[in-house]
Amino acid sequence: MFPGTGRTSLKRHTLVSSSLDQNNRAIRVLPEARREKAMATVDARPIIASGDEPFETIMAAAGALDDGEELVILAPFEPVPLEGVLSSQGFSYEAEDLGGGDWRVTFRRPS
């Protein structure tokens, strides 16, 4: 458990680009710092609980983002397939285990 958070695990995935320095050594170029507020949120938990599929809702929300904006997904599990789909479209993401089976995944459209 992380002190003061009540969380047992924290999983972060931030895609970074790399390039070579003058000595042909790989260097990482980190993305710009995250903003404090998300631009859109989709709580997929009630959608899934009702037996429906949230994929179209999530993709519509992702498609409406401007460069540099974020989309927060709340889900009753880590949405690994969604992480793959949006990563392939250039999004970076951070996945956080909230406990009790709930996850928060923040996707960021590149600037």
Backbone φ and ψ of 49, nearest 5°: -60, -30
Angle formed by the axes of helices 80-88 and 55-63, nearest 10°: 30
Domain boundaries, the chain: 11-108
Q: What does the pLDDT read at residue 4?
A: 44
Cα dihedral 42→43→44→46 (10° resolution): -140
Q: What does the pLDDT read at residue 111?
A: 86
Extract the residue ranges of the chain whose pLDDT is less than 70.
1-38
CATH topology of domain 11-108: Translation Initiation Factor IF3 (3.30.110)
Q: Is the pTM of this model over 0.75?
A: no
